[in-house]
Amino acid sequence: MPRNITLILTNYFVGIAIRLWLFFIDYNTIFMNRVEISTPLNSWRRVVEANYISKISNSPNPYESDVIYEPPLYHMFYMVLSNLFGEQIYLMFIIADILTSYCLCVAGKKYLETLFKKEISNIDDYLPDAVNFIIKEQEIESVDVYIVAAYMLNPYIIFNCVGYTTTVFQNLYLGLFFVGIVKKNVFLASISLAAAISQSFYPILLLAPLFVTFNDKRFNATLVTTLTLIISGLILIISSFLNPKWSYLNHSLKFILSAPDFTPNIGLFWYFFIEMFEHFRTLFIYSFQLNVIALYVIPLTLRFRQDPVLLTTSLLGIITIFKSYPSLGEVGFVLAVLPFWKHLQFYMQQGLLTSVSFFMVTLLAPTVWHLWLYSGSANANFYFGATLAFATAQIFMLTDLLFAYIKREYIIKYGCVKECDGQEAVLLLE
């Protein structure tokens, strides 16, 4: 067997073994109860409860209480799955993770191969000093190993999996979306994106990369985008058949947008809205949501329209930082996509800072949580500090990635010699 395949299989094996071990230790419920891992939106316990309610009462409507916050079609899907797997439900989460990592692996390999082919076939067009910096074959040869490792052995993804969250499905849809846009498969891209949008709304931002991908002669980009929206609308309409009234929207879309649940999580909403006077609520809900949905998508799309994969990653990063109920599984997904840009490693400057912050916060957050809620010796500010540091680390990571990309773009285009009128020049971003 080639070395890569052996390594990938080892990654899968170790990843599955760790997951199984964590599913069966005594302390498994810790993961389920951690607020960093399961939010009201993605917790599997709520799904189980909703299943139970649907089974016992005559008019099965779990949407009338604060139980489940995903559209009824998804709830039905989970019901089918949990009937199918029964006691072995943990297998379902593991399988979803395996599929996602495989999708990312396929997408990443294809993306880098396309990049490599493009640069190597145009090699004569580059300046001689820029040739040093185009992508090399050995840089992409083992990238699949890294991608699989970054997903299967990623602690955040593992926590997400053993914490029983529906984010594993969200990640699966997004993984499929990556495959769709890399392979230019309209069907796959729009279906998976529609599924993601109706599940958690925020992926609606990914319509931008979808549009950009299919914006060429073969496809009609506007049609593709509209179609995706229509599909996700259809999902909602079918849901309304499953559930007598449209009232379920109050417990899915409205819940996401108005963020009424203040249980702490790794996001930035809860602390702010706890501390704020009630009559400013509407104003700040609008500003917080506009910050995620409207502020970054247009400039990023304009700047990175050539590279929808990078655009998708950066938008996903922004969603996870600023959305109303983020969870570690989503952060883990963004981290798992990073090996796509292994060739940018040289240009990234904040690697140490971000990785140290991630590690520290991962240790500190549960610690201060314990001190706050069990020992009574710390308070909410400590925990909020940790989440703030976490968001900052993510922002640093994302910005660093984008700057690295731009820097490489510049060097490829103009070469590494920086000279302006015979004098040494300095690159500035203004």
Residues within the interface to another protein (CB under 8 A): 7, 14, 26, 120, 123-124, 126, 128-129, 131-132, 134, 136-138, 145-146, 149, 153, 346-347, 349-352, 355-356, 359-360, 363-364, 367-368, 370-371, 374-378, 396, 399-400, 403, 406-407, 415-419, 426-429
- When the beta carbons of 251 and 407 are compared against another protein, the nearer one is 407
Contacts 24+ apart (CB under 8 A), 92-97: 93/19, 93/161, 93/162, 93/164, 93/168, 94/16, 94/19, 94/20, 94/161, 96/161, 96/168, 96/169, 96/171, 96/172, 97/15, 97/19, 97/151, 97/152, 97/157, 97/161, 97/168, 97/171
- When the beta carbons of 85 and 403 are compared against another protein, the nearer one is 403
Query: Min. distance of Cβ 426 from another protein in angstroms?
Result: 5
Report whether 314 contacts 305 (CB < 8 A).
no
- When the beta carbons of 235 and 411 are compared against another protein, the nearer one is 411
Query: Min. distance of Cβ 430 from another protein in angstroms?
Result: 9
Residue carrying structure tokens 């990653």: 313
- When the beta carbons of 1 and 426 are compared against another protein, the nearer one is 426
Report whether 123 contacts 133 (CB < 8 A).
no
Query: Min. distance of Cβ 112 from another protein in angstroms?
Result: 16
Taking alpha carbons only, the member of 162, 184, 221, 206 closest to residue 21 is 162
SS3 at position 128? coil
Taking alpha carbons only, the member of 281, 164, 177 closest to residue 232 is 177
Query: Min. distance of Cβ 163 from another protein in angstroms?
Result: 19
- When the beta carbons of 118 and 136 are compared against another protein, the nearer one is 136
Cα separation, 24 vs 211, in Å, equals 44
- When the beta carbons of 79 and 360 are compared against another protein, the nearer one is 360
Report whether 16 contacts 94 (CB < 8 A).
yes
Query: Min. distance of Cβ 215 from another protein in angstroms?
Result: 29
Report whether 112 contacts 135 (CB < 8 A).
yes
Query: Min. distance of Cβ 135 from another protein in angstroms?
Result: 10
- When the beta carbons of 10 and 258 are compared against another protein, the nearer one is 10
Report whether 372 contacts 379 (CB < 8 A).
yes
- When the beta carbons of 26 and 87 are compared against another protein, the nearer one is 26
**Tokens describing residue 99:** 């599929």
Query: Min. distance of Cβ 407 from another protein in angstroms?
Result: 5
Cα separation, 174 vs 26, in Å, equals 32
Query: Min. distance of Cβ 281 from another protein in angstroms?
Result: 27
Residue 70 is given by DSSP the state S
